[in-house]
Amino acid sequence: MSTPALRVEKIGGTSMSRFPEIIDNIILRNADDIYGRIYVVSAYSGITNELLEHKKTGQPGIYQLFKEQQSYPRKLLALRDHLFTLNEALVPAGLDLDEANDFISDHIDLTINILRSMENVLSSGYVSQKALLLAARELLASIGEMHSAYNSANILKNRGYSSTFVDLSGWEDSRQLTIDERIKDSFKSIDPFSTICFATGYTKGTEGIMREFDRGYSEVTFSKVAVLLDAQEAIIHKEYHLCSGDPLIIGESNIHPVCNTNFDVADQLADVGMEAIHPKASKPLEINNIPIRVKNAFDPDHSGTLITKDFIAPRSKVEIVTGSNKVMIVEIHDTRMVGEVGFDLRIMQILAKHQISYISKATNANTIGMIINERDCKAELLADLKEKFELVTCNPVAIVCAIGSNIAQPGILARAAQSLATDNINILAVSQTSRQTNMQFIVEREQFNQAQRALHGALCM
């Protein structure tokens, strides 16, 4: 008798904020296929931004107030009231309002008490500030996922289904478990084929999930659950399809969903900030040969994008045009560079010191240009580089990429470059490896959208 197929599914914050639709589109869509699924859920949209900081703008949240010893209890109580409002909106879907409000209220009160204790310890000067601040960050991060996972299980239970809240946050458990140990322990007595499981996207572990992954922690939890429980497939539900281009730039009518691709392409996308999945979360799935399916939660009839280890497009084509206009080009020009073995190693050592990874690199006899994220181009980095090298410049640019699992064909680079030239777009730098999965063009920042439209029109239509 064959073993039933387990699927582990990740639901993002924007999708969780439309949970009644998630119930209809995903959880209860097929009456014969309700169980055998574990849902790893994010906090409702915007909640983790309030707890930590805004993911895109960096606007500080409650964590920063605690770090600066400001009025974080008042802000936590305001957050509690916000979560009460979210709870009330879910009552028509089946949420027991009293139970849900009691749950989150108790956890907010306990959070305030724990943070106050931490604050007292910090002021004593006897312990490492870094360690305590990281613990506070972990504590705050866990609140959003506990709230959404508890509510989800509560709603399904009140609709008459067997449901289980799988709390990986470790609030009720003082044991010193690793992340993997906590996941295994939490699921050891649960049969996912007889209950609908809602697990917190945050997992408490002795190594600290945020120490290495920070805001990518929910996808790491999702990945670890899939690997540790030997899932047949890992599914990510987003509020959009993984498409050939950005609909806001290219236009809805000109793009199309990507039906199949591979992990290499997923890594290329993540490198420029278009994450199908966090690269540190995708790697264990790739190693264990667990395919990822990226689905649009609000287009349930579409099968989504299947990401597998071995897929190569049978016909050579560009699958996706994407990029970033939040990058800088750091250029080092030094007449001593030509012929000197290991010259660029000195540059890499400075980047490593500042914990910076470059996206793209172009080099000639005496110049090396690197594309880095705008947020990483800080005065301290430039000062260190200028101290060692003759001429260092840093300018805002955009990177536009044509990506695919099989783009190796004669003339494709020429066709891409010609499409940009025809649209009067100057290529500042270009990069492509012999593997030929990603053609990268550096252009003026104000031509970012224009360049994407030109490449998409020439290569993806």
- CATH C-level class of 7-239: alpha beta
Contact 323, 400 (CB under 8 A): yes
User: What is the pLDDT, as a whole number, of residue 274?
Assistant: 78
Structure tokens, 120 = 């007292």
User: What is the pLDDT, as a whole number, of residue 126?
Assistant: 67
Contact 338, 390 (CB under 8 A): no
Q: What phi, psi does 233 have (nearest 5°)?
A: -150, 145
CATH superfamily of domain region 320-459 = VC0802-like (3.30.2130.10)
Provide block-wise average pLDDT over 10 residues at a time, the chain (461 residues): 81 95 95 93 95 86 90 94 98 98 97 91 75 90 96 97 96 88 96 97 91 85 96 94 94 94 93 81 94 95 95 94 96 93 94 95 94 94 96 96 94 95 96 92 97 96 75
**Residues with Cβ within 8 Å of residue 289, at least 6 apart in sequence:** 309
The CATH 3.40.1160.10 portion of the chain extends over 7-239
The CA-CA-CA angle for residues 134, 42, 99, to 5°, reads: 100
The whole-angstrom separation of Cα 194 and Cα 163 is 9
User: What is the pLDDT, as a whole number, of residue 2?
Assistant: 54
**Residues with Cβ within 8 Å of residue 307, at least 6 apart in sequence:** 260, 261, 262, 263, 265, 266, 276, 277, 282, 291, 292, 293, 294
CB crowding 154-169: b at 16 or more within 10 Å, else e: bbbbeeebebbbbbbb
The whole-angstrom separation of Cα 293 and Cα 307 is 6
The CATH 3.30.2130.10 portion of the chain extends over 320-459
Q: Please write the tens of the pLDDT for every residue from 171-200.
A: 878 889 999 999 999 999 999 999 999 999
- With a threshold of 0.85, does the pTM exceed it? yes
User: What is the pLDDT, as a whole number, of residue 440?
Assistant: 96
The whole-angstrom separation of Cα 412 and Cα 5 is 41
